[in-house]
Structure 1
Amino acid sequence: MSNDHPPAYGLVTSVYRSSLRPIILPLALFTGIWSLVWAIGLFKEIGTDNSQHEKKLATFAIALGAMYSAVAVIEFFGTAAAGFQRYALIRIYSFLSVAAAILVIGAGLLRVIVHFMLKNDLITECTQLATNQTVDFRWGIWGPHIDHTLTASEAASWCKDAWNHDSLSEIVSLIVTIVFAALITLLAFSYAHQTSGDTAPTRLAGPAPAAYHPPYEGTSSSIPDLSYNAPYAPPAGPPPGFREMDDDDGDIGKPPGYGAGAGVAVQDKKVYDVDVESGKGDDPFADFESAPRHH
């Protein structure tokens, strides 16, 4: 079944006529930096998980760090593609953005799963790290603050409250990640589609895509050269003469003749009847010919 509706990226291109480069460039750069920060934090957490003997958390930290690292590489590639304005690179990035969206959404979903499935492991690790640690409690920007060293029970209560607070944050973060990843992918394909057609706001460097047709230059042998500098050749053969039609039915409908041999002699913009056999007619100059015609 055929679908008459244009693709989503075509809708974005039709609504936003200007180049999408000023939008793609900062978004790809921001996403790359954001993913890199997440990857660094997760890789640093591997050492903490191992020191607390939380092997499961360490394994998930490695997986999540690798996923965010791959997203960072793709987004930095997209930043370079938009920066250099190379159509081939932009086209590759549009397809890689789909993989980046899948990775970042998968990472967000995995974080939610780990948060709820490994609840006890997370609270236990947090309690071990927070026990006998000093916590700074502050009330407002200018309000008073106190330093307090947590006991084991206080640390457990504090970590449980932190886990409850992070539960809502993880769900909201997943929803925002899905929307943002879909937006980046849509813009990437819109930018690639925008730069591939003849109506692109700016022509990019690199070879033209198959959809682009160069201006007509008359290089085909089957099509005449219609450029401004092409020489003009007149049609073959002499131009047709003028022949007045007589009233008799014999001349009606006959095409104009070509010269005196066809029954017409033109001289000084006057038309004279000519006898085809003798070459003479009522032409007043026919008697002064130097020599008669021989057939």
Structure 2
Amino acid sequence: MAKKTRNRAGAAGAATGENPRRPCPCGSGKRYKACHGAGDDVIVTRPFAGLAAEPDLVAMREFLPSAVAPLPLREASPVPVTLATVLPGASAALVRPDGEILLGMQVQTRSGDLSADLARALRWAREAEPGSALPVVGPGVGGAEPIRLQDVLDADASLELTLHPDFGWWVAGSDDGAEPAPEVAATLERANAVIMPTEPVVAEGVRAAYWVDTGTKAHLRWVRPEPEDQLMAALARLQARGELALTEDTRYAGAFRAHGLLVPVWDLDRELHVKEWAAPVAAFAARLEAALAGLADEPLTDAERRARDALAGKQVTLR
């Protein structure tokens, strides 16, 4: 049997799923149905490629604590379908008594393709009885026919995220306003105790940027959709110009890679309200867009290349 290769460029350029003979996004060179769609354990490094909602999905998977969003399906659903950061018991999916479907992002997985896991969980939920929950998703769940999120989502739609300060929505509307059972209340209390306050930075030209209070520091975490090489070159150009900080009192802390995207992080002043960061973040967004646009015409200078190398030392990779 030929040895599989993991081609990151192939993963980043995966097809959106309209062609049944599309190549597998893992980069093996095989058709998806004959590779990862058949239960292969190859890791898909950029599972949400081709979707406008990609930055939102990465944020929900990696660091948003309590958030929900209607899933923008290609075809209308007879029941509401809601994407959630985490569900009770870290379930992959659950069906409320009224039929509403909830899909969890922060779950244990048995495959290397998060996109396929979400699509499988959705297909399972559509056939499940009200009140059912799916603890773990993976190959074999929801039928044998391969499916990915790109097959069912509106590729051009972003997510309309709602962030919550706690997990009260876990039980909201499920028991006609009745108090949750003691064990449910205890689970909620434990979950609420570990939430880090998180709010979106709302500003023109800014998307998927979040203020996070860790208890000792405040950060801006910003999921960027650009290819890593382009983004790092633009950040290096700003660093060489002394324009990488959001304000004089902020510090660029580094970046982490998550599911094929880069997430730059800044240390912020905890005393300032999230709304006070809107203007500095919007101004930085404009500088970054200009730097990105200029890359095609002006190669990096020696100083900018040194800045890029220094910034690369501040990166970590998350699965």
TM-score under structure 2 normalisation?
0.21
Rg (Cα) greater in structure: 1
More helix by share: 1
More strand by share: 2
